[in-house]
Amino acid sequence: MIGANKYDVQVIEMGTVPTGVRGLDVLMDGGFPQGSTIMVEGAPGTGKTTLGMQFLVHGAMKDGEAGIYVTFEEFPDQLYSDMLAFGWDLRKLEAEGALRVISMSPDIFIEQIVEPGGLVEKLIRQIDCKRIVIDSISLFRYGAAGEEEHRRMLYRLRNILRRLGLTSILIKERGTMREESGFEAYISDGFIQLQLKQQMEKYRVRTLEILKMRGRRIREGEHVYRLTDNGIRLIPARSMVEDLALLNGQEKVPTGVAMLDELLEGGLAQGSVYLLDTNSKANYKYLIASVLANRLRAGDKVLALLSSFLTPQDLHKMLALQGLSMGELAKEERIFFIEHYTRPYPKDCESSVINVNGLSNEKYREVVQEKIGALVEGSGNWFIYYDLNTVIAERGKDFATKHFAEDSAGVKALCMTMMVLCNFSEIGPEVSAFLERTCNGVIRTWVDGAYQYMQVTKSPNGIISEPYVVETTTQAPFMKLI
């Protein structure tokens, strides 16, 4: 065993097969996993056939991957003319050996595909087929003796497609029974649902949702798509946020929590405002300490309005554990505090504390604005940590929200990065919605039962993550997302 290492793991390169549907691939890290079986479900007219054909045509024309389209329609002539409307000349592709459209009964198809060396396998060999679309598997149901047999057949089909190395789309007509999707979702590697939805009474909107995609991080939620003259075009949800264009070339501010930075594609965007929505039980101090330590280490300056949960002593200790001296930083005028509770600060930090206890709201605002103004005149980047809960508790909800939009606009304009702590459940849905709109990103953390969770629910790059479990660790940053 030369150089064998017990930690060596065999990395199996899993290829990616682009779908050819603009906007869809970005929802799943570039496309379908190679060789996977994907179920596409939807009611009649949602665009399943179009999606399947677009996948094959793109493979044939752009990726050099030949494909087979299996239809159970007796006369597929209509299909050829329908697809021509999207600019896809199926006959031409067939003549080039890049595509086959096969029309046969479901029974015969199954009979042929299960047979090694049968008609279907021959066709696959003939054109070196890499992709297949079966339109639709719902028709197998009628051939099967019962539910048991239907399932066995689907399972067998899935295994054969895998063995043949085909990246497959199995189209499924949306049934009336909701629960009947269970088995299909279970046996397939991916499950995509197409829907036609009523919107604002008189409009209808088509939405696509990826419910499952093995080995891929997916962008969750319903994404709107349109049928255009070039086929299906999908608009990833939240890509309307104005920041996308601005984000190009924008610096990222890492939080120091590895998984969170990955979700945020490098970290918090410089010049942006993020909300940290937390319920009272959730422990957020490690995240805050980690963000602050990272900024300070990178040479930034910090202005912090600490919550009652995160005491100056806590922060002092946590920064020390990260090798930073709060006293030194205060002396270098790189860290400042806005203090509402007249809490004691470590001796060497006292010069950095702006005590606002007992100040009227007007006076408070004046002092803070003046301080921020003075800070900006200096050099370097600023990071602001602002506990909105404290401001709400001490100065009232009206005051806190009234100035919020203006303040965050100012912060953005000055290219400062700000993290705002608040508790959506305490401030109510209206104010929460307002704050959410005003901010560039929202990170949520909450406790449910024995676990704490964290999720990115809004970010300038449009990414919405699934909820992660927060685990505390003994080393900086003292937390981890699982």
71 scored as a contact of Mg ion (CB under 5 A)? no
Task: State the minimum distance, in angstroms, from the CB of residue 133 to ligand ADP.
Answer: 11
Residue whose CB is less far from ligand ADP, 3 or 44: 44
Task: State the minimum distance, in angstroms, from the CB of residue 213 to ligand ADP.
Answer: 20
CA distance 466 to 464: 7
Residue whose CB is less far from ligand ADP, 127 or 235: 235
Task: State the minimum distance, in angstroms, from the CB of residue 72 to ligand ADP.
Answer: 12
CA distance 457 to 138: 36
Please give the sequence-ordered ranges of beta strands (E in DSSP) within 189-322, or none if there are none. 190-199, 203-213, 223-228, 231-235, 252-253, 268-269, 273-278, 301-305
Which helix or strand (DSSP H or E) is residue 405 part of? helix 404-413
CB atoms within 10 A of CB 268: 28
Task: State the minimum distance, in angstroms, from the CB of residue 42 to Mg ion.
Answer: 9
Q: Do the beta carbons of residue 243 and residue 439 sit within 8 Å?
A: no
Residue whose CB is less far from ligand ADP, 173 or 350: 173
CA distance 196 to 410: 42
Q: Which of 19, 36, 37, 49 binds Mg ion (CB under 5 A)?
A: 49
Residue whose CB is less far from ligand ADP, 45 or 215: 45
CB atoms within 10 A of CB 370: 11
Residue whose CB is less far from Mg ion, 90 or 420: 90
Retrieve residue 215's tokens: 């080995």
Strand, coil or helix: what is 375?
helix
With CB cut-offs between 5 and 8 Å by kind, which of Mg ion, ligand ADP, none does residue 15 bind?
A: none
Residue whose CB is less far from ligand ADP, 134 or 442: 134
Which among 6-14, 46-54, 376-384, 402-410 is the span making contact with Mg ion, rule CB under 5 A? 46-54
Retrieve residue 144's tokens: 């099967």
Task: State the minimum distance, in angstroms, from the CB of residue 149 to Mg ion.
Answer: 25
Task: State the minimum distance, in angstroms, from the CB of residue 45 to Mg ion.
Answer: 8
Residue whose CB is less far from ligand ADP, 85 or 374: 85
Task: State the minimum distance, in angstroms, from the CB of residue 90 to ligand ADP.
Answer: 14
Strand, coil or helix: what is 94?
helix
With CB cut-offs between 5 and 8 Å by kind, which of ligand ADP, Mg ion, none does residue 216 bind?
A: none
Size of the site for Mg ion (CB under 5 A): 1
Residue whose CB is less far from ligand ADP, 222 or 314: 222
CB atoms within 10 A of CB 101: 21
CA distance 359 to 367: 9
Task: State the minimum distance, in angstroms, from the CB of residue 88 to ligand ADP.
Answer: 11
**For Mg ion, what does the binding mask look like between residues 239 and 278, x meaning CB under 5 A?**
----------------------------------------
Contacts with ligand ADP by CB under 6 A lie at: 42, 44-50, 85, 227-229
The separation between CA 382 and the C-alpha centre of its own chain, rounded to angstroms, equals: 28
54 scored as a contact of Mg ion (CB under 5 A)? no
Q: Do the beta carbons of residue 53 and residue 70 sit within 8 Å?
A: no
401 scored as a contact of Mg ion (CB under 5 A)? no
Residue whose CB is less far from ligand ADP, 48 or 216: 48
Retrieve residue 23's tokens: 């906007």
36 scored as a contact of Mg ion (CB under 5 A)? no
Task: State the minimum distance, in angstroms, from the CB of residue 35 to ligand ADP.
Answer: 24
Which among 43-51, 106-114, 320-328, 430-438 is the span making contact with Mg ion, rule CB under 5 A? 43-51
CA distance 164 to 68: 13
With CB cut-offs between 5 and 8 Å by kind, which of Mg ion, ligand ADP, none does residue 50 bind?
A: ligand ADP
Residue whose CB is less far from ligand ADP, 35 or 52: 52
Q: Which residue has the tokens 């406790």?
A: 447
Strand, coil or helix: what is 58?
helix
With CB cut-offs between 5 and 8 Å by kind, which of Mg ion, ligand ADP, none does residue 26 bind?
A: none
Q: Give the residue among 318, 350, 322, 353 at the shortest CA–CA distance from 336.
A: 353
Q: Do the beta carbons of residue 17 and residue 150 sit within 8 Å?
A: no
Q: What is the DSSP string of 253-286?
A: E--S-HHHHHHTTTSEETT-EEEEEE-TT---HH
Phi, psi (degrees; rounded to nearest 5) at 116: -60, 130
Strand, coil or helix: what is 345?
coil
Task: State the minimum distance, in angstroms, from the CB of residue 43 to Mg ion.
Answer: 10
Q: For 381, which DSSP code?
A: -
Residue ranges binding Mg ion (CB under 5 A): 49
